[in-house]
Structure 1
Amino acid sequence: MRAVVVDGFGGPEVLVAREVSEPEVGPGRVLVEVGASNVMYLDTLVRSGWGGEYFPVSPPYVPGAGVVGRVAALGEDVDPGWTDALVVTDTGHTDASEGRTTLPVDGYAERAAVPESALVRVPEGVDPKAALALLHDGPTALALERAAAFGPGSTVLVAAATGGAGSLAVQLARAAGARVLAAARGEAKLALARELGAHEAVDYSRPGWEKRVLELTGGTGVDVVLDGAGSALGEAAFGAVADGGRFIGYGTAGGRFSEVDTEEAGRRGVEVLGLFDLQAQDPDDKRSALRHMLELTRRGEITPHVGLALPLEQASRAHAALEGRTVLGKVLLVS
């Protein structure tokens, strides 16, 4: 079968499509004929050699941690009801003790062998690509909503508001009755943020953008910052959170997580949470969250936004687009 392989850490050019061995379907596992593979910014970081302490991946490996497709074969002891089911599923190894994917691998391929326990059915009426867009970002966005506890009367700033999780968080916050401020780069992304439901949109590529956020809140700051940007952008966003508010850092679009001054946070009474605080849940909880987000999508209450779908062989172009910040919404590879 065809798959994309990383033979050594480096830039997008190290992603090469070639023939590899078929995955083995052992007891309790199924073979999924992949329709599309999820592409995350995390994939670009791991490919570059970043994050070995969090994601201990060594080349050669097939990147990607999730797919959507049809169940093509069943291993021993698998419920026959899964035959030909349309499913969305993780492919990487999940550490049950940590509740997170520790090896984001085996997704960029024409077929994937996964545990039966990892499967989630795609509801009738939900586009498979939309379902895949929710696989990882859906549970993250729902965890952000629960941690932020926003509602009527609260003000939320979503940094990287047109990313996979950020675009969903904007919609969830708006539906909860919060006033939503979106931060993104460039007019096209700002327009999308407004389309998704943001009341105001601020270009965070402009110097002093966080001061504009303060102006929009009458100088008090926002109740909650959802930081999907990381790096200096996220650190600037911390300056826009109100005393007694919450700062939740979940993304690394800027290349690293934000480094918040914990002493200042303590003085101001700001609660600071990170990605792994949000992901301290077991895999069953994550699948339950995914089912909830799929149901919201089926009912038309949220709309996952897929901005770029490319053939499997163009994985390097997909990574370059993510790194170049040119994508509006999710990036997928189509088999």
Structure 2
Amino acid sequence: MRAVWLTKFGDPSVLVPGEAPDPVPGPGQVLIEVTHANITFVETQFRATGAGPFRAEAPLIPGNGVGGTVAALGPGADPGLLGRRVVSGTGGSGGYAELAAVPADGLFAVPDGLPLDQAVALLADGRTAVMQLRAADPRPGERALVLAAGGGVGSLLVQLAAAAGATVVAAAGSAEKLALARELGAAHTIDYREVDWADRARAEPGGVDVVFDGVGGAIGRAAFDLLRPGGRLDSYGLASGEWTAITEETATARGVRLVGADRSPHALRTATEHALTEAAAGRLRPVIGRRFPLAGAAAAHAAIEARDTLGKTLLETGR
């Protein structure tokens, strides 16, 4: 099969197209004929340094999320899965390929009417957005600030927070991303490349009750300072390269709370299922900004690192 190899840790050029043996599904596994592979920001960090939630040594085939059709079954797998459209995590590797062997009990059936590419776009970002929304619990009439509002998770959080009745304040780093946020339901938009962005947010709309922080660093800290008493800071990402450094004591002194998502297996599964169901019903729109062929994985990683993407970026095998 065709695949992309991470030959060593480094810049995007270490992602090299090549051949690999077809995987064979083991007991309780299925073989997915992959049409789309998900790319996350975390994967770009792993490629660069080897650090992150995945524990593996190069060379390997990277990729932690795929979508396609079940093409073969391992011993003990449900025969009813054969031919089904599914999305699945891979456990951290093996996704940038035409075929992927994954545990059958980790599959998510793609609802009827939902295109497969949209389901793949929701596999990681959809569940993350739903879990963060449940953790911060924005209420009708509250103001919710979404950082990195033009990204895969941020663009979904804009929609989810607005649907929950919150007034959404979207912050991002380009006019195009802010325009997307307005289209998705943001009432206010702020370019956080501007040095006075936090002062502007404090003056209009006048502080916030919830911060969804997928950026971290100085921007996350400035967003924390915008929280009003009773507010919640939900830090779930570090696109800046570092977490927002706020202690419980600092938050308590301000009268705000630090919240985090329930990441139990049950919570992960129900959040993914909820995102897929909402999208199938037309209530949640995954934004697929760019698509690259499988052999273009290096270019896809470079575009994500250059902040030259909107929403989700996908690899496509052409199958």
Q: TM-score range by the shorter chain?
A: over 0.9
Matched, 1:207 2:195: yes
Partner of 2:106: 118
Matches for 1:256-295 after TM superposition, within 5 Å:
256-273=242-259, 277-282=260-265, 284-295=266-277
Per-residue deviation, residues 117-160 of structure 1 (Å, max 9, x unmatched): 01111111101111011101111111111111112111100000
Letter in 2 for 1:251: G
Per-residue deviation, residues 155-213 of structure 1 (Å, max 9, x unmatched): 10000011111111110111111000000011101000101110011001110211111
Gaps of 5+ in 2: none
Aligned 8 A contact 2:290 2:309 in 1: yes
Aligned 8 A contact 2:89 2:106 in 1: yes
Please point out which of 309, 313, 319 is paired with 2:291.
Answer: 309
- Deviation of the 1:279 alpha carbon: 4.7
SS of structure 1 residue aligned to 2:289: strand
Aligned 8 A contact 1:46 1:57 in 2: no
SS of structure 2 residue aligned to 1:161: coil
- Deviation of the 1:288 alpha carbon: 2.3
Per-residue deviation, residues 286-319 of structure 1 (Å, max 9, x unmatched): 2222121111111111100000110010001100
CA distance, structure 2, for counterparts of residue 240 and residue 49 of structure 1: 33
SS of structure 2 residue aligned to 1:202: strand
SS of structure 1 residue aligned to 2:68: strand
CA distance, structure 2, for counterparts of residue 17 and residue 240 of structure 1: 46
Partner of 2:29: 29
- Deviation of the 1:228 alpha carbon: 1.1
Gaps of 5+ in 1: 93-103
CA distance, structure 1, for counterparts of residue 222 and residue 39 of structure 2: 27
Aligned 8 A contact 2:210 2:231 in 1: yes
Partner of 2:61: 62
SS of structure 2 residue aligned to 1:166: helix
Q: What TM-score, normalized to structure 2?
A: 0.96
- Deviation of the 1:278 alpha carbon: 1.6
Partner of 2:90: 91
Matched, 1:182 2:182: no
SS of structure 2 residue aligned to 1:288: helix
Partner of 2:281: 299
Partner of 1:153: 141
Partner of 2:227: 241
Out of 175-184 and 247-256, give the one that drifted further: 247-256
Matched, 1:322 2:313: no
Partner of 2:12: 12
The total of aligned residue pairs comes to: 317
C-alpha change, 1:265 and 1:205, in structure 2 (3 Å) is same
Partner of 2:73: 74
C-alpha change, 1:287 and 1:79, in structure 2 (3 Å) is same
Letter in 2 for 1:5: W
Per-residue deviation, residues 93-129 of structure 1 (Å, max 9, x unmatched): xxxxxxxxxxx21111110000000111111110111
C-alpha change, 1:330 and 1:66, in structure 2 (3 Å) is same
Aligned 8 A contact 1:2 1:20 in 2: yes
C-alpha RMSD of matched pairs (Å): 1.3
CA distance, structure 2, for counterparts of residue 212 and residue 24 of structure 1: 56
User: Hey, which bits of structure 1, 4+ residues long, moved more than 6 A?
Assistant: none
CA distance, structure 2, for counterparts of residue 36 and residue 15 of structure 1: 17
- Deviation of the 1:13 alpha carbon: 0.7
Aligned 8 A contact 1:182 1:198 in 2: yes
SS of structure 2 residue aligned to 1:278: coil
SS of structure 1 residue aligned to 2:234: strand
- Deviation of the 1:262 alpha carbon: 4.2
CA distance, structure 2, for counterparts of residue 241 and residue 138 of structure 1: 25
Partner of 1:42: 42
- Deviation of the 1:239 alpha carbon: 1.5
Aligned 8 A contact 2:188 2:205 in 1: no
Aligned 8 A contact 2:138 2:166 in 1: yes
CA distance, structure 1, for counterparts of residue 96 and residue 238 of structure 2: 21
Partner of 1:51: 51
CA distance, structure 2, for counterparts of residue 215 and residue 261 of structure 1: 26
Letter in 2 for 1:18: G
CA distance, structure 2, for counterparts of residue 314 and residue 34 of structure 1: 16
